[in-house]
Structure 1
Amino acid sequence: MAALAWLLIPLFAVVGAAIWGGWASRNRTTGDVAELAGYARFRDAMEKAGSADRPAE
């Protein structure tokens, strides 16, 4: 029974390392696209608001 326990320890370590590796290498760029699009809309809205306040030359 003790030998089985010693064989399960590395098995759990490998499973844990595989889970951590998958989590660490996940694609985290999906949120940036939405934030950049929102910033572009904000910038466009501010440009429109700024041009409406200026007198015509």
Structure 2
Amino acid sequence: MAALAWLLIPLFAAVGAAIWGGWAQRHRTTGDVAELAGYARFRDAMEKAGTGRDAA
């Protein structure tokens, strides 16, 4: 019975690795749209903040 337990440990590790690998390789649908929109807002805010100062 102890030998069976020692054989099940690698089996469970392999199944866990397969599940984790499948989860890690999933396709994310968000893409770069949110990041690009945030960068555009940041760029606009920086342009607005720079217009009120004197260019010394």
Question: TM-score by structure 1 length?
Answer: 0.52
* Segments of 4+ moved more than 2 angstroms: 29-33
Aligned residues: 53
Q: Which residue of 2 aligns with 1:22?
A: 22
TM-score normalised by the chain length of structure 2: 0.53
1:6-21 correspondence to structure 2 within 5 Å: 6-21=6-21
Percent identity of equivalent pairs: 91
Q: CA deviation at 1:16?
A: 0.1
Q: What is the rounded CA distance, in whole Å, between the counterparts of 1:10 and 1:22 in structure 2? A: 18
RMSD of Structure 2 on Structure 1 (CA): 3.4
Can you give the 5+ residue segments of structure 1 that lack an aligned partner in the other structure? 37-57
Unaligned runs of 5+ in 2: 37-56
